[in-house]
Structure 1
Amino acid sequence: MSLPKITRLPSARLLGSISHLHLQHQQLLLPSLLPLSVPRRAVTPSPYRRPGQPREDKPPWQKINFDFWKGVGGIKKHFALLKKEFFERWTGPEGKPILEHMLEQNRVVWEFRHPESLEDWTVSSDQEIGGQSTVNLKLGKNDTCYLYGTLNSTPPRDGETRYSGYCTMRSKQPLISFDRKKHHDWTSFNTLHLRVRGDGRPWMINIAAETYYSHQKDDIYCYFLYTRGGPYWQDVKIPFSKFFLTHRGRIQDDQHPVWLDKINTIGFTLGDKADGPFQLEIDFIGVSKDFAHTEEFAYELYKKNPEV
């Protein structure tokens, strides 16, 4: 009895037929599959938006008040500031004679003697992200800045925010004519001088300087202010060499000294996770020149190209 013959295909031909069938099957499945959409990363970080808050899709020009008389008043204001700026340059830096500017060893930058002086400051808390802390600012009985409120570290119930509980006070960016930035020039000084009266809580002093690139706009130099409880005032002198560089609350590895020629703002932040009332009273904020302090920077600097 003879067995039927089994025809065997060559291996190359067999593999070719299998790949052809696989390609036909893949072509049948491809039209049913949707293309994968990869979210595009923004070039610049978008501003903070509370979870659950709808996005504001209005174009920016709809927020502008196109009032003719408001524009006329703004033109008068800016030309008055330009005139003041022009004549101050003939007198000397900051409107002072050049000899007085060179020999100056102490300067009071902020003092609080009338309610209008509080307009140069702004306060905020974790209520911007749904928290429960409160902060207030008013003129004290002794013509001082009185900052008070209640700290609450309970995070909001939005399912995303994990940490909360902060209050801050920050100076506004000084502006000159036509809304140009004005920087504080503290190159002649090396120490920050404060006269404060607190309740024993530790505060964080934040100094913001001008930067070259947009991704560095959140760079802040920080140092701690330890207050004493009780009725007595304390004079605090902190060298600028002690301030360390942070970015959005994180200490950076690449440290460098504060650029004292382009200081924008200064602020005070409380976030010690101790729930309850707080208060901080500030008499004045100034800068001074301490000839006994010769330290340039208190922290280690890493060289990118070390010398061999």
Structure 2
Amino acid sequence: MAVSRSTHFTPAVRFLGSCYKQRHLAPHQSVGWRAISGGEYKRPGQTQDNTPIWKKFDFDKGVEGIRKHFTLLKNEFLGRWTGPEGKPLIEHILEQTRVIWEFRGPESLEQWTVSSDQEIGGRSEAYLKLGRNNTTCLMYGTLCSAPPRDGETRYSGYCTMRSKPSMGSFDSKKHHDWSSFNTLHLRIRGDGRPWMINVGAETYFSHQKDDMYSYFLYTRGGPYWQDVKIPFSKFFLSSRGRIQDDQHPLWLDKVNTIGITLGDKADGPFQLEIDFVAVCNDRAHTEEFAYEVYKRNPEV
């Protein structure tokens, strides 16, 4: 017997649901061209950009893009002869820790995007810059939970940073393969606020496009660094801000993006400094999944 999608709404993921509602479920945009084309959010009363696409095209950028994609295609083809992900097979088997993102220069910030409720008319501000000595990443800003006065938006107050999806040659999808690891490792320095770690994985069906795996990140205030290790078995499945009854483990071989979101409804300044984001294989952790899994075809 299949388990239906849950409608339980919990305070733990309230800001995720409010974020989705404002960006994807506005009453005047429930079903329309935006849902098909995947366009950006348009505030009520905002004029639509009707500039023809041929006026936006740049020939020089097009040639440079073709050159870049052929270079990526060459590297992908040659990397398969070396081993998985371009590494020798013995190195891939014995690898215990892999640093996925580290911030050691301005180019490292280009792999991330920062957004806030300003996209829906809110007043929160979020910025991303390098820390001291250009060896860390500092996300800072001000959180404001007051909704905009447009007569439609009910919730507001979130700031998030999210990694850009990995793209291969000719904009083909690339996934992070973390199947050899079981723990997410971050080195951070926060201000005492609770954050949420969101991991997005590849899905097979269109109604699963809003699914994400989440877990909480509790930071300590003060000048000292904090090493956080979160087992992937602790991540729970949610959709549009609602925890699902039908839980299942994260597919570690098809990870697309990872994000860090603040939405604790505590107005005021915030900051979070990140040294690196890595994955590791903790041999002491043997748990497969921390939550109850329903049998789709229960035994009689």
- Which TM-score band (shorter chain)? 0.7 to 0.9
User: What percentage of residue pairs aligned between the two structures are identical?
Assistant: 75
Contact 1:44 1:215 in 2 (8 A): no
2:117 pairs with one of 126, 135, 140: 126
2:177 pairs with one of 168, 177, 185: 185
**2:133 is equivalent to residue 138 of structure 1:** no
- Determine the structure 1 residue equivalent to 2:220: 228
- Determine the structure 1 residue equivalent to 2:166: 174
Alpha-carbon distance in structure 2 between the residues aligned to 1:249 and 1:64:
39
Aligned positions of 1:211-250 closer than 5 A: 211-250=203-242
- Determine the structure 1 residue equivalent to 2:96: 105
1:108 maps to amino acid = V
Alpha-carbon distance in structure 2 between the residues aligned to 1:192 and 1:86:
29
- Determine the structure 2 residue equivalent to 1:53: 46
RMSD value, Cα: 2.0
Alpha-carbon distance in structure 1 between the residues aligned to 2:282 and 2:227:
14
- Determine the structure 2 residue equivalent to 1:275: 267
Deviation, 1:66, is: 3.6
Deviation, 1:217, is: 1.4
2:145 maps to amino acid = S
**2:65 is equivalent to residue 74 of structure 1:** yes
Alpha-carbon distance in structure 1 between the residues aligned to 2:124 and 2:56:
33
Aligned positions of 1:155-166 closer than 5 A: 155-166=147-158
- Give the TM-score taking structure 2 as reference length: 0.85
Deviation, 1:45, is: 3.8
- Determine the structure 2 residue equivalent to 1:264: 256
What whole-Å deviation, never above 9, does each CA across 1:240-268 have from its counterpart, x for those lacking one? Answer: 00001111211111111101001000000
Alpha-carbon distance in structure 1 between the residues aligned to 2:126 and 2:159:
6
- Give the TM-score taking structure 1 as reference length: 0.83
1:94 pairs with one of 85, 92, 109: 85
1:53 maps to amino acid = Q
- For these two proteins, the number of residue pairs brought into alignment is 268
What SS does the corresponding residue of 1:261 show, helix, strand or coil? helix
Any unmatched runs of 5+ in structure 1? 1-39
Change in 2 beyond 3 A, CA 1:157/1:145: same
What whole-Å deviation, never above 9, does each CA across 1:125-155 have from its counterpart, x for those lacking one? Answer: 0000000000000000041010000000011
Deviation, 1:42, is: 5.2
Any unmatched runs of 5+ in structure 2? 1-29
Alpha-carbon distance in structure 2 between the residues aligned to 1:164 and 1:191:
32
Deviation, 1:291, is: 1.0
- Determine the structure 2 residue equivalent to 1:194: 186
Alpha-carbon distance in structure 2 between the residues aligned to 1:150 and 1:43:
34
Greater CA drift, 47-56 or 82-91? 47-56
Alpha-carbon distance in structure 2 between the residues aligned to 1:43 and 1:247:
22
Deviation, 1:273, is: 0.4
Alpha-carbon distance in structure 2 between the residues aligned to 1:64 and 1:184:
36
Change in 2 beyond 3 A, CA 1:135/1:212: same
Alpha-carbon distance in structure 1 between the residues aligned to 2:286 and 2:166:
30
- Determine the structure 1 residue equivalent to 2:277: 285
Alpha-carbon distance in structure 1 between the residues aligned to 2:47 and 2:57:
26
Alpha-carbon distance in structure 1 between the residues aligned to 2:219 and 2:55:
44
Alpha-carbon distance in structure 1 between the residues aligned to 2:241 and 2:94:
37
Contact 1:133 1:152 in 2 (8 A): yes
Alpha-carbon distance in structure 1 between the residues aligned to 2:148 and 2:270:
21
Deviation, 1:93, is: 1.4
1:234 maps to amino acid = Q
Alpha-carbon distance in structure 1 between the residues aligned to 2:54 and 2:202:
27
What SS does the corresponding residue of 2:297 show, helix, strand or coil? coil
Change in 2 beyond 3 A, CA 1:41/1:195: closer
**2:204 is equivalent to residue 204 of structure 1:** no
- Determine the structure 2 residue equivalent to 1:296: 288
Deviation, 1:55, is: 4.7
What SS does the corresponding residue of 1:281 show, helix, strand or coil? strand
